[in-house]
Amino acid sequence: MNLLMLSGDPSAAQRRDSAFVQMLRRFSTYWARIDILCPRAPDAAPQTLYQNVHVHPSPHPLALQPWFIVRRGRALAAERAYALIASHDYGFFYNGLGAWRLSRQTGVPYVSEIHHVEGYPRAAVPRERLYRALAMQYIRRAGRRAAAFRAVNAQEVPELLRRLGVPEDKILVLPSLYIDFDIFRPAPGAAPRYDVLFVGRLAPNKGIFDILEALAIVRARRPSVMLGIRGEGPLRAKLAARIEALGLGANVAWVERCPDTEAVARLYNQARMLVCASTAEGGPRVTVEAMACGTPVISTPVGVMRELVEDGVNGRLWHWDINELAGKIALLLDDDALCARLGEAGRRSVQSFRADRVIEQYARGYHDLIDRLSATETSRSQDDSP
């Protein structure tokens, strides 16, 4: 069977190593051919990966992405039959709008993949409140048009879909967190360089300023506490200014970009804990990767963290209260035995995210959906026959 994917990730077209590209290596074995339509990006060009994955970046601005999807998708559908369109939907839902129109014109059913809703459960800035409102409207309308919705966590997104009227039989829970445990694993004897580690894009939903405020509280008791920040993004300058204003210059280290996943794993192993302060996430991936390395995590209850972490057993949860976060950071810094227990329990609890298992579940989920849709269509045809 052939699959048409509408992705917001241009890394495959840029020939960059990424979680998406690594996923495709395994995912491609379940399909005769995969065609991927993605937005334009610097250095993006048509690519062929793993012999049967063909990447088609748009040459147009993002606002024209729905038009590009319909035009290029119709041309591809004229060359071969597709069993399904998988649309990664977020933001202004350019992919979803294109998927709906393309599906209507070609007759190929589409799945709306909702990895997370920006601004949900909490909005960090007014823009995210706008995106959240757009998502609610999109989901209500797509609930009638899409063959199914893919949710990547078992609680947060499915609960929202149900509340917005999506029928239960249209909700597919197919996780997107896949971990290579040959890479993300403990490194016994690794010397800690950072007391606290943040890894992520420097954007409003990541809550990095809350981590700084909590660090300032912790520093009152531990003057040498060290935070490592690995990330780039639009808040870099404001973040640097806040670090200076709080007098944390000696307590914050900017970590250089990691050249590959092995370097990311080494970074997790150099931290006493990883903190996630996000207000909205699908994963987050970094927390699960850190847990796989045996690094204890403190996270807000976003995305999969709400169902994965049992507070005090295999990690710590905090609820956007800076004093609460500071207290939990200080507790781990004061108790090496607790760190070790949480780290080991966290490592054990993420073993179900083994990459080959999760990606097989993803592919089989779509194969089962295709079979179900085909059976429904056959039954409908038989009912309509004289």
Is 186 part of a structural domain of the chain? no
Average pLDDT, the chain: 94
Confidence check: pLDDT of 151 > 90: yes
What is the span of the domain harbouring residue 147? 2-178+355-384
φ/ψ bin of 89: left (φ > 0), alpha (ψ from -120 to 50), beta (otherwise):
beta
What's the pLDDT score for residue 4? 98
Q: How many residues does the chain have?
A: 386
Torsion of CA 131, 163, 110, 39, to 10 degrees: 10
State how far the alpha carbon of 4 is from the alpha carbons of 23, 76, 111, 230, in Å: 15, 9, 10, 34
Residues 224 and 96 in one domain: no
What's the pLDDT score for residue 206? 96
The Cα 287–Cα 64 span in angstroms is 35
Residues 170 and 237 in one domain: no
Which neighbouring-strand residues pair with 5?
36, 86
Residues 54 and 166 in one domain: yes
Q: What is the pLDDT of residues 281-313, one digit of tens each?
A: 888 999 999 999 999 999 999 999 999 999 999
What is residue 370's three-state secondary structure?
A: helix
Residues 9 and 27 in one domain: yes
Q: What is the pLDDT of residues 67-95, one digit of tens each?
A: 999 999 999 999 999 999 999 999 899 99
The Cα 351–Cα 348 span in angstroms is 6
pTM: predicted TM-score of the whole model, two decimal places: 0.89
Residues 205 and 123 in one domain: no
Residues 174 and 29 in one domain: yes
Residue ranges of alpha helices (H) inside the chain are 19-27, 65-79, 94-106, 126-145, 156-163, 208-219, 236-245, 261-269, 285-292, 305-308, 322-334, 336-349, 355-384
Is 24 part of a structural domain of the chain? yes
Residues 363 and 277 in one domain: no
Residues 173 and 56 in one domain: yes
| CATH code for position 47 | 3.40.50.2000
Cβ(162)–Cβ(114) below 8 Å: no
Is 79 part of a structural domain of the chain? yes
What is residue 136's three-state secondary structure?
A: helix
Q: What is the pLDDT of residues 329-373, one digit of tens each?
A: 999 999 999 999 999 999 999 999 999 999 999 999 999 999 999
